[in-house]
Amino acid sequence: MSAAPKIRVQRTGRHAVVTLDNPPMNVVCAALTRELYAALRELERDSEVRAVVLTGAGERAFCAGSDIAEIKELLTPGTVLEKKLIFQNKVFELLRSFPKPTIAALNGYTYGGGLEIAACCDVIVAEEQVRLCLPEIKLGLFPSSGGTYRIARKIGEARAKRMILTGEPIDAPTALEWGLVNDVVPRGEALSHAETLAVAIAKQPAQAMRAAKRLINACFDGPEAALVAQSLMESDQIFCSADAVEGVSAFLEKREPRFE
């Protein structure tokens, strides 16, 4: 029996909804990343789709980060780059530079890789109960798919360092105050609010929107390729460190890590 799809795409009028569907917490795994890439490429070619909404299946999480059990197998030199991060960074950058407007509808926990996905979108809508976090430091790691520089560009150096160095979550109102999300809505309303925005945006001229996105993105870019390359180099070293082995083991064993 083939595995259930981890990405669902539904077209409605001139927009599409992409749902991360890896229960119970929609974590990022290799299969989800591959399917997200395929879905984005297909929607990129679909001239009928003028805007894309990303959300998570269920009510608990948009995406609670990477599959830690999968990471456990990647803690040797070079392995995490080859089997996870190079392609994952490629997919996330495809989302960031996607030629059509993208809206993230956060309906629950948005942690780690989930926040990195959301940060690639043009607009972020969060329900009032949502918590946002970059907890990788607690595993002896750091955000390795754009969470460092993309979050810093959105909320500034000081706040990004606070989030990343403590690994503690912030709530949706704080994320709104910091400029990490655009809108906060009542529980259960993120998707409908995001789709309303998508309908309005899809009416706008596609060529002008593409040009506007390119120019806005460019004004925040250092050379993105250089940032990705540096992040990958650092990740390869960190993922095979003793602290990473201890952090991931402690998470899976449900105990406090003992970092040396």
Which of the residues are catalytic?
A: 116, 136
Cα–Cα distance measured from residue 88 to residue 120, given in angstroms and rounded to the nearest whole number: 12
Rounded to a whole number of angstroms, the distance between the first and last alpha carbons of the chain is 44
Q: What type of residue sits at position 105?
A: A
Number of residues assigned to the chain: 260
Dihedral over alpha carbons 115, 117, 120, 122 (to 10 degrees): -80
Burial class (CB in 10 A: 0-12, 13-18, 19+), 246: middle
- On whether the CB atoms of residues 26 and 82 are closer than 8 A, the answer is no
- On whether the CB atoms of residues 141 and 134 are closer than 8 A, the answer is no
Pairing of strands 109-111, 170-171: unpaired
Burial class (CB in 10 A: 0-12, 13-18, 19+), 194: buried
Q: What is the DSSP letter of 5?
A: P
